[in-house]
Amino acid sequence: MSEQVKLAVYSIARFVKTGERAPLPPGLPPELTQRRAGVFVSLKKRGQLRGCIGTIAPLTGSVAEEILRNAVSACSEDPRFDPVTEDELDELSCSVDVLAPEEPISDIGMLDPKKYGVVVTSGYRRGLLLPDLDGVDTAEEQVAIAMRKAGIYGGEPVKLARFEVVRYK
């Protein structure tokens, strides 16, 4: 298990068991403490999504702090799911995606859903879809899902951006 995932699991277990947010543990590697980036934490239970929350751009001072924050959000604030209970902790698997900065693109042909995530923007609405997701095989599917997530409907003008991630399991 990667350091990123260990940190997310630690944060989730602490929050679910005590209701308290976990402090940063000592001795974390510099790539977690001296770098800032957007981070998504995804939870699965028996292979099915159980929670996924993240940030496109960093809101905290380090990747480690972003993981702690978003792990709690993934297990307790994803509006699609009830909060994770202590009984479920042993059944959960976790992944952490650390996002590279997004880059604007001019054409959907510049997307590859296996390599790039997408951000779709129309006015103040933004939708994001991570790359390399089961069942998302084309750039068109990827953009359509991100648009739905943002409440953007066909015919509305959109701006596209792509980003890469490093996924830790």
Q: Could you tell me the two tokens for 101?
A: 């900065």
- pTM, whole model, 2 decimals? 0.94
Q: Domain for residue 136, yes or no?
A: yes
Q: Are residues 37 and 120 in the same domain?
A: no
**In the prediction, which pLDDT does 154 show?**
81
> What digits encode the pLDDT tens for the residues 26-72?
999 999 999 999 999 999 999 999 999 999 999 999 999 999 999 99
CATH number, domain of 16, equals 3.30.700.20
Distance CA 57, CA 53 (A): 13
Domain with 48, as residue range(s), is 3-99
Domain endpoint, select from 52, 71, 99: 99
> What digits encode the pLDDT tens for the residues 99-142?
999 999 999 999 999 999 999 999 999 999 999 999 999 999 99
